[in-house]
Chain A
Amino acid sequence: MTRPARAAVAGVGYSPLTRRSGRSVLTQALEACRAALDDAGLEASAVDGIASFMLLHDSVPAQAVATGLAVPGLRFAVDAQLGGQAPCYLVGLAAAAVEGGHADAVLVFRALNGRSGARVGTMAFPGPGAQYRYPIGYDAYLMYVAMWAQRFLLETGQGPEDLGAVAVAQRGWAADNARAVKRQPLSLDEYLASPLVVDPFRADDCTTEVDGACAVLVTSLERARDLRHPPASVASWAYRAGPRSGLDIGDHLLWRDYTRNYTTYLRDELFARAGVVPADVEVAEIYDCFTSTALMGLEGLGLAGRGESGGLVRSGGTALEGRLPVNTHGGLLAEGYLHGMNTVAEAALQVQGRGGPRQAPRHDVCVVTSGALMDGSALLLTTDR
């Protein structure tokens, strides 16, 4: 099953992350994509693939970005109607397209006015499951993740201190990240003293919605070796929707086990394909729209034992000097909610050794996840070995 990496992330780019951009989503998408190309040292004319995702049309299609970049044409284009499940999945698809000869250079981006425009946090998700949620006030994504978190904490014997430890640790990382929108320190006491928003979540358990864009450039490993920075090889990727995954993004009534998300289901395939085991992982960028999903991801991937993820974070194990640096950008909690595209970009920066003051000392193997509940995706990025 193990096979050598043949594609890589060669560059990353961002537009500024703000609370009110005052700019169109397309302007920001183009800025991030141009930045990723500049970062890699590639001309826009080399781009022949673009992939992106949106929720309820909160973004712009690949076609518009191709037009704005004046690329000669597209051989590969994906506009996925997905949320945070998408970034690793789309990078994986881009890698597959490159490996299969269907594209040479693919931009994968997420762009949105996620704070000043349509906000996912209060968006009503249409679908066959909607009729059971909205009439009773079960009406926000945060509530669905909170519902899983409550059972997860109950069964794994964890509690508010464990959730809070994630918020505190990631704020610590964000202090060294100029892009992050929440950089002020947070103590566990401050966390515990703050009011519950939706039990078991407080405000600091929740991602920070922003306006902005992020893009990464995927090309062949061979080509990436000749570009500006060392490649972050796509050693493996996996998408998984677990069994009984429900009727829409907000429906989880058929899912049996709220203490295990898609990471449990994709773990074996993800690691086996790259010929590594969880203990080989040196940096982890775990999707964290809420604190609980970071804990669940650590346990689901086997990076922490069942019920031991909170302890790992509380002991400092996920900080710069810890056993496993986690969410080195501050995560979606503190850097901002670009639905995990920025989490993939941070993983690439870490593998490339470009993490600056937050660079993990060992960074040959990095795992990244995208998604929170029934379905999601993951990547293993590695140095060019």
Chain B
Amino acid sequence: MSPEVASAAPEADADSQFYWDGLRRHQLLVQQCARCGEHRFPALPACPACGTPGGTVVEVDARGCVYSWIVVHRALVDRFADQVPYTIVVVELEAGCRVVARLDPATAVAGDLPVLGHYVDHGDWTELRFRAA
């Protein structure tokens, strides 16, 4: 496990298992609507734009811009107390959907900053993380 993020593994569900499996293989997978073509995240059994059930799992570039961010200076949960300050970003991917992730501590955050994803392997899960592109 990475010393930086001593986090509990995510609890995948039947809708999201493909996403976590993809990260394990260092692939960013999202769903795409078969009808309107929208890429979506988080995993959902239907398209939030048009309601069409199902969809295709597709790999997208882990590339986008910081839509918004926070810097946590005081951890609210004890297990992250030794990691502050840390930055959480909502990234708008070029594919159009957004993900939430940690920003690499070496990257100075700013609104609309171009960022690139990379993969951090923990014991039993893999984290998508971003740094300046």
A residues in contact (CB < 8 Å) with B: 121-122, 128-140, 142-143, 146-148, 150-151, 154, 195-200, 244, 247, 251, 253-254, 258
* CB <8 Å contact, B111 and A151: yes
- Residues of chain A within 8 A (CB-CB) of B67 are 151, 258
* CB <8 Å contact, A136 and B127: yes
B7 to chain A: closest residue by CB = A135
- Residues of chain B within 8 A (CB-CB) of A195 are 73-74
User: In the complex, how many residues of chain B place their beta carbon closer than 8 angstroms to a beta carbon of chain A?
Assistant: 43
| Contact of B5 (CB < 8 Å), options: A130, A136, A199 | A136
Chain B nearest CB, measured from A383 CB (Å): 41
- Residues of chain B within 8 A (CB-CB) of A251 are 42
The reply on B36 being an interface residue by CB < 8 A is no
Interface class of chain B by DSSP: loop
0 or 1 for each of B33-45: is its CB under 8 Å from A? (1 = yes): 0000000111110
Within 8 A of A (CB), among B1-44: 5, 7-13, 15-16, 20, 40-44
* CB <8 Å contact, A139 and B77: yes
Question: Given A195-B73, A199-B71, are A135 and B42 neighbors across the interface (CB < 8 Å)?
Answer: no
Chain A nearest CB, measured from B117 CB (Å): 13
How many contacting A-B pairs (Cβ < 8 A)?
A: 111
Chain B nearest CB, measured from A258 CB (Å): 6
Chain A nearest CB, measured from B87 CB (Å): 9
* CB <8 Å contact, A136 and B70: no
* CB <8 Å contact, B98 and A148: no
| Contact of B9 (CB < 8 Å), options: A128, A135, A142, A196 | A135
* CB <8 Å contact, A196 and B73: yes
* CB <8 Å contact, A198 and B10: no
* CB <8 Å contact, A128 and B127: no
Chain B nearest CB, measured from A189 CB (Å): 20
